[in-house]
Amino acid sequence: METPRFAFLLLKEHPYGREMLKQVMSEGFVPSIIITEDSDIGDEEREKFLKRVEGNPIAPTVEEQISGLDIPHVEVPIHNSEIVMPHIEGMGLDLIVFGGTRIIRGDLLEAAKDGVINSHPGLLPECRGSASPAWSVFHDIPIGSSTHFCNNGIDTGELLLRREIAVKRGMTYEDLCYETLVLAGVLMKEALMAYVAGEWDEMRRPQGNSEHPTFRNAPEDVLQVVHQKLSEQTYAHYVD
């Protein structure tokens, strides 16, 4: 197949989306349009994530990455179908790529010929929802990232790729958050490469069920346990 025409959606200057954009563009996957959500909630999510990956390098800003390229970049107050659809109607998109967004439902999920895909910083189906590295350590779930199709559920669409990271003794919570962030971008890049190679039909598969609920943001008492387990090296899935 040819390189897909795709829209790239992210929260304004979120490190997750910036890393993913860097990864996909490194293989020549240039968005047909970038749609940024500029909102108070987006600002809160960005600051929260920056704290999670503190001490690790952040990819260049979106504007720095697309400088000199003729890529429309629009800002919206929220990524919902009613507001986003007018920006993409008539573009003939093959795909929509979520580069770190809030939960999105509705017509937008049907707006691209070959679907909407997302990379999640946790292994699916075991660790759906928010703060996946924290909940993975708390519940002794292996840590990794997954790329999947989006539906009206939360991280429940068919899988394309999933991969564990090698958790070594001495790694901090911030390290784990950063490693899953980078891996999520790498998996999205690999998913787009597989799309061009015509491999999606053989790759896509149902997730199956999880014994865990869909996680919310980890409260302070959970984070205390996470930091303690990593400090004492009692997490169950070290590779060394």
Q: In tens digits, what is the pLDDT along the chain, a chain of 240 residues?
A: 789 999 999 999 999 999 999 999 999 999 999 999 999 999 999 999 999 999 999 999 999 999 999 999 999 999 999 999 999 999 999 999 999 999 898 999 999 999 999 999 999 999 999 999 999 999 999 999 999 999 999 999 999 999 999 999 999 999 999 999 999 999 999 999 999 999 999 999 999 999 999 999 999 999 999 999 999 999 999 999
pLDDT of the residue at 57: 96
- Torsional class of 4: left (φ above 0), alpha (ψ -120 to 50), beta (otherwise): beta
Residues forming beta bridges with residue 11, ordered by sequence position: 37
pLDDT of the residue at 52: 93
User: Residue 50: what are its φ and ψ, rounded to 5°?
Assistant: -60, -35
Q: Do 24 and 97 touch, CB atoms closer than 8 A?
A: yes
pLDDT of the residue at 137: 98
Edge-to-edge strand ranges of the sheet holding 33-37: 73-76, 33-37, 6-11, 95-98, 116-120, 144-149, 159-164
Q: Is 170 helix (H, G, I), strand (E, B) or coil?
A: coil
Residues forming beta bridges with residue 116, ordered by sequence position: 96
pTM (whole model) above 0.85: yes
Of the candidates 81, 79, 78, 80, the residue with the CA atom closest to the CA atom of residue 107? 81
**For the chain, where are the E strands, in sequence order?**
6-11, 33-37, 73-76, 95-98, 116-120, 144-149, 159-164
The whole-angstrom separation of Cα 29 and Cα 237 is: 34
- Choosing among 3.40.50.12230, 3.30.70.360, 3.30.420.40, 3.30.70.260, the CATH entry for 6-232 is 3.40.50.12230
